[in-house]
Structure 1
Amino acid sequence: MSRTQNLRDIESNTEKKHSHWHDWAFVLLWGVIGYACIIFMVLAYSNPRLIPFDISSLLFRKEISPFFAFSQGTGHYSKPQGFKIVALVPFHYHERTAILDCYLQVVFVPQTDDAASMEWLYSIVNQTPEYAISSRGHEMEWEVAKDNVMYIRIDGDIVFLEDNAISTIVKTKLDNPSTLMVSANVINEAALASLHSHPGTALPYLPELYDVKQPSRSKSQLEHDWRASSLPSWQGPLNFKVGKDFDPPFEGHRWLLPRDAGSDRDPIARSVYTDTGPTLHDWTVGAQQHYSFLHHLEHNDLGRYKFPMWVDPTEPTSENFGCFWGNDAVEVHRIFRNNQKVSSHNWHMSDGSRPHVIIDGKGLVSHYSARQGAAGLDATDLITRYRAYAQEKVCLQTE
């Protein structure tokens, strides 16, 4: 039997042939429209003032974080049963922990001899039955740990705590039982300092250079306004740059967004791209990060900081917000104690291996770093702003 060759659709043989010029014109038209849309999108992204609305809102639902809390799915995560979960809060400064008081009911571990701070602590504990004070000591929070108890170590200088931060890291720790510790996503801390310094996340804030009076607003209004949108634009010399060892301009100064920022004027840009800028651990970088965070907080844009999980980072994680089992407390403490004395590139356990830890990018907290000192962050109005946010959004209002 011979094979049929050149089999064709019979109907196609009788189909009238048409000219294809109009098909090419149609393709060309859509090509022009497509290129025009691309150019418009690029221009709108590079200069948002060209259009009266946020074009990215047409493509993304910015109010929803790109990563779900509680590791998998959404919805309410009930407190696990069968073991205790205890928060340990090393206490240093009452001005900062007074903000954390809005978020938590905890066991405080005093690590200060300051009379005013201790007086505040005893007064707040006496007013709140759920509060307790542990034994004094700079390492006592590690020594009180008990086996089969999950501990959430929360530094007393935490000034913002996302609603799902604790439940998220607890869930991730239970999902990963071999992990020594799970850290939250701590703003501008340790291994995350570079990640949180990316353009678009870190905004080009600059320090206010002159103390300008604001007669139109009362002191009470200023003390209760945390929003970055109420700040004026930065003004100063065109050649101004934040260098190393930059001193605070004056007490209570603010950081402001310039209308037209240079590419290397702000602390983070100069830290990353020049040899004459501050390090990522300088107080000026911390100030820029905090003001950037408050900006994104106001605009419901915290998704910029989120990521799923970072397993076994090569650089140290933050010790300021994380969960671990009580029987691992000694090893967790040893890691952080040893790595305070060596380079961050030597992040290791007592046997020389890398710590098996996870940074959960879905639970966000902000830490007011004490290492940056009174000469740095304390000279800004950041504490006032974080306190105003907590009082407006978090603190329980009682009559």
Structure 2
Amino acid sequence: MGKSSTASSSTRASLGWDAERSDFHHSQPKNMKAMGVDREWWLRYVNHNLLRRKIDLRRLIIAIIVFLALSMVIFEVTHHELYRLAPFQNPPLAPVPDVPGQCTTWPVDWKGRYTPSLERENNTVRLESFAPKGGWKKPVGIKIVALVFYGRKRTVDFLDCYLQQNLAANGGYVDEIRFMVHTNKEEDLDYLRDLVSRREEHYHIVEANTCEGSSYGCIWDSIVEDDTIYVKIDDDIIFIHPDAIPQLVHTRIATPHPFAVSANLVNSPLTGYEHFHVGAIHAFRPDPREKPSHPAAESWRPSDKSNFPESSLPKLNISDLRSIEFNDEIFPPRPYFGHPFLLISDDPFDLMKSPMGLNYLHGGNKGVESMYEKAWKSWAIASQQQYSLLKNLEDNTIAHYFFGSPQDFPKGKNTSAVAVKHAAENKGGPGAEQLYNTQYKRYNLNFVALWGHDIKAALPIAEDDEEDITVTIPKRTRRPFVIDTRSVVGHLSFYPQHDGVRETDLLDRWRAFANEMVCTPQNQKSPFDKRCPGF
């Protein structure tokens, strides 16, 4: 027993740390048995099985490597679609953007890449048209040129879809589009050059040369062709109703006396409070939360989000205006990058709890003009007007914006007999149904139609072209500046509103609207930026 026990211990020790030594067999007797087991048979068995295990392990490692490699390939091919189907998969550390508006609430991947869906919403809205019987027909003998005052690519990217929609070559009214450059930022210039190179038959670049900074007067120097209607469009126009340009052109022809005819701007102090009175503005407020409560998604409809939580409404005593901290309501803190505005309710009284309503109450009996300055500066008022437009588009109630009435003007008062001739030929035709005379008050020059001969006669245009074209020249020539309220367009922001508006999700919403409603399947638009923090 003692010898057998000792041999067994020796065998276990050897197998535990030195079982594969080459001199093992030489140090042991050939037919030695331990606990009844033949030593030589045991060693052959152990060595054979260890070798087999080594081979099996090697195969397993190779199989794992192949599996991981295939998985990486499959993920790389499909990761765009995976992000579309699972928008909750955020980048782990989404950086805070350096510039407001340079992040997206869409489900882009970690590198900012996004593949637009070619599938249209099943409940796509069909926007109501107020075209004359038989549809819009482009006037004969008049050239129509769109002038895009250009400086920023992020809005022109999807404005391109509206320009394409309105080209005469595509059934619209516009013969040519000129980009009047007013920037020296290479990023934006490179984008424009690339865009125009792909549309060179109809798109052209006009360099601003000496026009820099806040000076816009000399941009007009080349806009002097006779028998031409120019439609000046700012680069941050984010919505153009399909009727807007045809309606504006026919009004420009039907009423030769006014010096210029503007579209009906959504986000303008003057027209904004007219919209407020006629029921086009809705009770929206910025999301009260401090971080996103919804995943990244491509969406434009206000109904996709829940209503504003009643528990977060401020306690406002409407009858005691002193209890309201107006600046905090009209210039509220911005909660987070990419936040939406939420509808309080459809009750018109709740409009008074919104930024526009509170600014209106604060004006009291001072008159509507006392509210214009804050409406021009407030990013919240600008945003509320645009979310209201989105709701009106979703509800297909664009006619809520139509105010004004037919206007009588002196006959034959124009610098060109051609304009008078076209007006006579257009008698009884469309245009000028619901006009608003600004009565020489300053109005915004974001979207306006003028005859080339009228611009030529008025040159040089002052550096503040807006004041000159909407006030100074109309007074001098005794020819008013009017608004065609049936020509509805959306405007993103004025200078004081830029940062606040760009921290909302409005750019994403307007891009989503354009993709669904305006852009062709071959011209779908994607964000330029990475995802906003928290989405």
Q: TM-score over 0.5 for the alignment? A: yes
Match of 1:293 among 359, 380, 389: 389
The whole-number CA distance in structure 2 between the counterparts of 1:203 and 1:123 is: 39
Percent identity of the aligned residues? Answer: 27
Match of 1:367 among 488, 491, 495: 491
Question: Is the counterpart of residue 323 in structure 1 residue 449 in structure 2?
Answer: yes
The whole-number CA distance in structure 1 between the counterparts of 2:402 and 2:459 is: 25
- What's the TM-score once normalised by structure 2's chain length? 0.55
2:225 paired residue number: 147
The whole-number CA distance in structure 1 between the counterparts of 2:262 and 2:384 is: 23
**1:364-386 alpha-carbon deviations (Å, 9 max, x no partner):** 11111232343211111101000
Secondary structure at the counterpart of residue 308 of structure 2: coil
Match of 1:208 among 287, 304, 329: 287
Structure 1: give runs of 5+ residues left out of the alignment. 1-61
Cα displacement (A) at 1:113: 1.7
The amino acid across from 2:276 in the alignment is: S
Q: 1:237 to 1:373 in 2, by over 3 A?
A: closer
Secondary structure at the counterpart of residue 270 of structure 1: helix
Question: Is the counterpart of residue 269 in structure 1 residue 357 in structure 2?
Answer: yes
1:82 paired residue number: 141
**Could you tell which deviates more after superposition, 307-316 or 197-206?**
307-316
Structure 2: give runs of 5+ residues left out of the alignment. 1-125, 165-176, 317-324, 365-370, 404-432, 524-535
Match of 2:275 among 196, 207, 210: 196
1:6 paired residue number: none
Q: 1:100 to 1:333 in 2, by over 3 A?
A: farther
The whole-number CA distance in structure 2 between the counterparts of 1:122 and 1:134 is: 11
The whole-number CA distance in structure 1 between the counterparts of 2:242 and 2:282 is: 24
Give 1 or 2 for the bigger CA radius of gyration.
2
Cα displacement (A) at 1:357: 2.5
Q: 1:213 to 1:247 in 2, by over 3 A?
A: closer
Match of 1:239 among 315, 322, 337: 315
Mapping for residues 1-399 of structure 1, pairs under 5 Å: 68-69=130-131, 73-105=132-164, 106-129=177-200, 130-136=202-208, 137=211, 138-148=216-226, 149-198=228-277, 200-214=279-293, 217=295, 219=296, 222=297, 224-235=298-309, 236-239=312-315, 242-259=328-345, 262=350, 264-274=352-362, 279-281=374-376, 282-307=378-403, 308-314=433-439, 315-329=441-455, 331=458, 334=461, 337=464, 340=467, 347-349=471-473, 352=476, 355-398=479-522
Cα displacement (A) at 1:248: 1.5
Q: 1:180 to 1:374 in 2, by over 3 A?
A: closer
**1:61-108 alpha-carbon deviations (Å, 9 max, x no partner):** x9857xx44xxx433222222232111100121111112101115211
Q: 1:166 to 1:121 in 2, by over 3 A?
A: same
Q: How many residues align?
A: 324
Secondary structure at the counterpart of residue 153 of structure 1: strand
Cα displacement (A) at 1:340: 4.3
Cα displacement (A) at 1:298: 0.6
Cα displacement (A) at 1:355: 4.1
1:37 paired residue number: none
The amino acid across from 2:224 in the alignment is: K
Cα displacement (A) at 1:317: 3.1
The amino acid across from 1:300 in the alignment is: N
1:334–1:350 contact (8 Å) kept in structure 2 = no
The whole-number CA distance in structure 1 between the counterparts of 2:446 and 2:279 is: 25
1:283–1:372 contact (8 Å) kept in structure 2 = yes
Cα displacement (A) at 1:287: 0.7
RMSD of Structure 2 on Structure 1 (CA): 2.9
1:211–1:250 contact (8 Å) kept in structure 2 = yes
1:190–1:316 contact (8 Å) kept in structure 2 = no
2:382–2:497 contact (8 Å) kept in structure 1 = no
**1:293-313 alpha-carbon deviations (Å, 9 max, x no partner):** 101111101111013422432
1:85–1:150 contact (8 Å) kept in structure 2 = yes
The whole-number CA distance in structure 2 between the counterparts of 1:63 and 1:263 is: 25
Which one has the bigger helix percentage?
2
**1:112-145 alpha-carbon deviations (Å, 9 max, x no partner):** 1222111111111112222111112344541111
**1:331-366 alpha-carbon deviations (Å, 9 max, x no partner):** 39848937649xx9xx44375565422211111111
Secondary structure at the counterpart of residue 464 of structure 2: helix
